[in-house]
Amino acid sequence: MERSYEAATALALKAVGPLAAHLDRYVTSLIDKQYVVDVVYVKARRLLAFDGWLATQRLVLGELCEVDVEEYQQRSRRRCGDIRTGTRHRELCDLTQFLHFLRVQGVCEPARSNATPAEGVAAAFEHYLRHQQGLANPSVERYKTTAWQFLTERFDGGEVDLRALRPVDAIEFIQRQAKRMQPQSLKNIVNGLRSFLRYAEFRGEVTAGLVFAVPSVASWASTPQLPRGISPEHAQRALDSCDLGTAVGLRDRAVLLLLARLGLRAHEIIALQLHDIDWNTGQLQVRGKGRRDGLLPVPIDVGEAIAAYLKRGRPASIDRHVFLRSIAPIRGLMEGSYAIGTIVRDALKRAKVDAPHRGSHQFRHALAVRMLQGGASLPEIGEVLRHRSPQTTSIYARVDLISLRSLAPAWPGGAQ
């Protein structure tokens, strides 16, 4: 049979086992997500075979789980003999993906959790940080990992009793981490542990004030470090490296301009929705850190780049995110992913730019420096970058070295 979307749908309709009522909808969802024809056809063929095996086992579909998938693969291996490892792995991925689809639809029971008690508490802490505090994903992951490690070490992987925590537990934990970490990394651990203890105190599960037992980190280095931004010349070369004849090039140029002209954070670009752009007023609604939304004016070149991507580069999709993946499944860039950082790194590599960093934040720093050198005040810079604290913006005062030199007193006995 010639491979086509129609042929894949026809295969799905041949199912007569437990999957008969769901396989057609699944194939349709793959087509909607713009998987290529060959991929959809092969997935449908494998799932049709799986359906036939399920029919012989008389399994209740609602109880289908990973154990059944593994049993099917073992039986298939015995019958078919040697099969390439790559083929076997792709079959497992296809079956697991379909099982996830059934769970999302509410057809199968959720996956059984084998989480340890410490992982369960850390997961609840993660939910609090993400949905109540609105922290950025990198911070959420760091704090969650710190909480999990602290609880695992304190309770030896067993049951967690937060009421049993004492100041010495926090002190000894930080002391152990200090033996293997540099001061800046250790500060992240300290911040994460303090955040977790505040959360536990808020829930009434630890002694009030326990957070004050977490030691501070002494550091005599220049803290914070001078922000290092990409130079205007290098930023322009990165922009020019985008191939505007391709959908990916149109998308990447629009993303880079949002970084360079508006100083958006990576997660703010990922979160952009189509309705966030007001084309009539030329404004962009940004969902910042800590659930702080703001309106920013859209420069002409930024607006033109976004419009070009929407008209000629963005795949057709029901997903409302502005920027989408370029390969199936077609959907918005994953929250917490390194998609924006990858776009930046690829652009710098194409432009043969040896930048101080490879991440996206260097464009944000560069914007602040250009504003400062152009005469903008620190409060104005803080407003554009949407800083919550003036102290955060104050680091840029140390960047304008020419102005700072005029404030330095002459060295006693030195040249006047």
Beta sheet of 283-287, edge-to-edge order: 277-278, 283-287, 293-297
Q: Which candidate in 265, 267, 325, 365 is catalytic?
A: 265
pLDDT tens for 283-318 read 999 887 656 678 889 999 999 999 999 999 999 998
**What confidence tier does 258 reach under pLDDT thresholds 50, 70, 90?**
very high
Domain with CATH 1.10.443.10 in the chain: 232-402
For the structural domain made of 117-210, what CATH number should be given?
A: 1.10.150
Q: Helices 247-262 and 339-351, interaxial angle, to 10°?
A: 100
* pLDDT, position 356: 63
Using a pLDDT cut of 70, give the percent of the chain over it. Answer: 86
Domain with CATH 1.10.150 in the chain: 117-210
Work out the average pLDDT over 72-77.
Answer: 75
Q: Say if strands 283-287 and 293-297 run parallel, antiparallel, or are unpaired.
A: antiparallel
Type of residue found at 239: L
Q: Which candidate in 144, 267, 364, 386 is catalytic?
A: 364
CB distance 44 to 62 below 8 Å = no
Q: Please say if the pLDDT value at position 391 is more than 80.
A: no
The dihedrals phi and psi of 277, each to the nearest 5 degrees, come to -100, 120
Q: Please say if the pLDDT value at position 279 is more than 60.
A: yes
**At the top level of CATH, which class does the domain 232-402 belong to?**
mainly alpha
Angle at 355 between CA 350 and CA 356, to 5 degrees: 155
Q: Helices 37-57 and 5-13, interaxial angle, to 10°?
A: 10
Catalytic residue list contains 267:
no
**What confidence tier does 109 reach under pLDDT thresholds 50, 70, 90?**
confident
Work out the average pLDDT over 236-246.
Answer: 94
* pLDDT, position 373: 73
Catalytic residue list contains 396:
yes
The full length of the chain comes to 416
* pLDDT, position 407: 44
Angle at 231 between CA 227 and CA 237, to 5 degrees: 140
Catalytic residue list contains 25:
no
Angle at 160 between CA 154 and CA 162, to 5 degrees: 85
**What confidence tier does 229 reach under pLDDT thresholds 50, 70, 90?**
confident
Catalytic residue list contains 352:
no
- Give Cα 372 distance to the centre of its chain: 30
Inter-CA distances, 127 with 120, 199, 389, Å: 11, 11, 25
Whether the bond between 227 and the residue before it is cis, its omega within 30 degrees of 0, is no
**Residue whose C-alpha is closest to residue 95's, from 56, 75, 65:** 65
Greater model confidence, 281 or 334: 281
Greater model confidence, 228 or 411: 228
**Cβ-proximal residues to 402 (8 Å cutoff; 6+ apart), any chain:** none
- HSE toward the beta carbon, residue 225, CA cutoff 13 A: 6
Catalytic residue list contains 387:
yes
- What value does the mean pLDDT of the chain take? 85
pLDDT tens for 359-386 read 788 888 888 877 877 777 777 777 777 7
Q: Which candidate in 321, 361, 365, 386 is catalytic?
A: 361
- Cβ neighbours around 240 below 10 Å, total: 12
* pLDDT, position 172: 94
Q: Which candidate in 289, 345, 358, 370 is catalytic?
A: 289
**Cβ-proximal residues to 15 (8 Å cutoff; 6+ apart), any chain:** 23, 24, 47, 48, 51
| CA end-to-end span of the chain | 90
The Cα–Cα gap between 378 and 155 comes to 47
* pLDDT, position 78: 53
